[in-house]
């Protein structure tokens, strides 16, 4: 979990704090990054992905591989369909990946829990 905020960053709005907290608490409750699912129906353009993430984050290829490309190798429980609207999904601009049928894949920061997020939490933590 990474809850570190620069209080002088003008991008840290209440909406951004909420997004990060929901995402990081998703990890604390056992969720993985949606784009790290071993059954993800997307294929990366590794060169474009490296160029984009390195330019935006300064991450090395090892970090990009670990955080984005590498598929989760543990056992998945309470599996739902792949959900590009999940709070656990990073944003990806067009040109970094395609769906298995060749359709371009892109997504922005998701700022709310998706129906899929709520469904998996209800399955993992029933009343």
Q: Please determine, for residue 2, whether its predicted confidence score (pLDDT) is greater than 70.
A: no
Q: What distance lies between CA 34 and its chain's CA centroid?
A: 5
Q: Would you call 96 helix, strand, or coil by DSSP?
A: strand
Say whether pLDDT at 77 is over 80. no
Write out pLDDT tens, residues 36-66.
999 999 999 999 999 999 999 999 999 999 9
Percent of the chain at pLDDT above 70? Answer: 97
User: Tens of pLDDT along 90-112?
Assistant: 999 999 999 999 999 999 999 99
Q: Does the pLDDT at position 1 exceed 70? A: no
| pLDDT reported for residue 38 | 93
Burial of 49: CB neighbours in 10 Å, binned 0-12, 13-18, 19+: buried
Task: Please give the C-alpha separations between residue 52 and each of 25, 28, 82, 121, in angstroms, as whole numbers.
Answer: 26, 28, 23, 32
């Amino acid at each position: 979990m990474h809850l570190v905020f620069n209080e002088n960053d003008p991008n840290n709005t209440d909406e951004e704090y909420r997004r990060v907290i929901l995402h990081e608490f998703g990890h604390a409750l056992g969720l993985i990054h949606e784009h790290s699912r071993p059954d993800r129906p997307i294929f990366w353009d590794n060169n474009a992905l490296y160029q984009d993430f390195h330019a935006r984050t300064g991450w090395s290829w090892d970090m990009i591989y670990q955080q984005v490309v590498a598929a989760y190798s543990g056992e998945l429980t309470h599996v739902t369909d792949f959900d590009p609207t999940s709070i656990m999904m990073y944003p990806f601009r067009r040109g970094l990946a395609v769906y298995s049928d060749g359709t371009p894949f892109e997504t922005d920061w998701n700022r709310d829990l998706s129906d899929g997020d709520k469904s998996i939490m209800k399955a993992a933590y029933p009343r």
